[in-house]
Amino acid sequence: MTEEILIAGFGGQGVLSMGKIMAYSGVIQDMEVSWMPSYGPEMRGGTANVIVILSSERISSPIIRHFDTAIILNQQSLDKFEQSVKPGGVLIYDGNGITRHPERKDISIYRVDAAEEASKMNSPKTFNMIVLGGFLKVKPVLTMENVIKGLKKSLPERYHKLIPENEKSLLRGEEIIKEIQKF
């Protein structure tokens, strides 16, 4: 099993940390993992993206251009990465601020309106956990149990009080993700 994932959005949306939680969860689930971020000034307020690979085998290249799943959190990233989803692959996006929706016909498309939901839940910081919950619903490559463990591992001790809120958001994401197009 190998799952090659791209997460892309604005800096500050928790793109890198969502990837980190996936990677930690993968390690807990005894998988090989790699987490390859974009880095530098573009992270600060600009676009941020990370490639996460989860695999049962040794990972060769951590840098790839085509993905099994792309998780897209803003318009720029959608424009840039829609074509990077492998045919038959999955694109998950948040509709917030999207004016041109995905157009590919050869992939499955899901929408998770996490920004809206996070504000409804009055929990803007767990926005990325709603997205992650949505991903896990579509691609159950990691168990929810291991994701919670991964969350604990990646969060500094002082934030552990926030875990229940994150857990709630993960579950909410599973509920609200909508299938737009099934390939």
Partner 1 sequence: MEKELRLMKGNEAVAEAAIRAGADGYFGYPITPQSEIIEYLMEANPYETTGMVVLQAESEVAAINMVYGGAGCGKKVMTTSSSPGISLKQEGITYIAGAELPCLIVNVVRGGPGLGTIQPAQSDYFQAVKGGGHGDYHLIVLAPASVQEMADFVDLGFELAFRYRNPVMMLSDGAIGQMMEKVWLSPPKERSRTVPDWATTGKPPTRERNIITSLELDPNRQEIFNEKLVVKYNEIKEKEVRFEEFQCADAEYLFVAYGTSARVCQKAVELARNQGIKAGLLRPITLFPYPSKQLNKLADQVRLMLSVEMSAGQMVEDVMLSVNGKVPVYHYGRMGGMIPTPDEVVENLKERIKGGR
Residues that bind partner 1 (CB under 8 A): 20, 23-24, 27, 32-37, 39-41, 59-66, 153
Report how far residue 129's alpha carbon sits from residue 116's, in angstroms, rounded to the nearest whole number.
13
Report how far residue 165's alpha carbon sits from residue 172's, in angstroms, rounded to the nearest whole number.
11
Tell the smallest beta-carbon distance from residue 147 to partner 1 (Å): 14
Tell the smallest beta-carbon distance from residue 22 to partner 1 (Å): 11
Nearest to 152 by CA among 135, 168, 140, 164: 164
Tell the smallest beta-carbon distance from residue 81 to partner 1 (Å): 14
Half-sphere exposure of 133 (CA within 13 A, CB side): 25
- Which of 38/75 has CB closer to partner 1? 38
- Which of 34/69 has CB closer to partner 1? 34
DSSP state, residue 123: -
- Which of 60/122 has CB closer to partner 1? 60
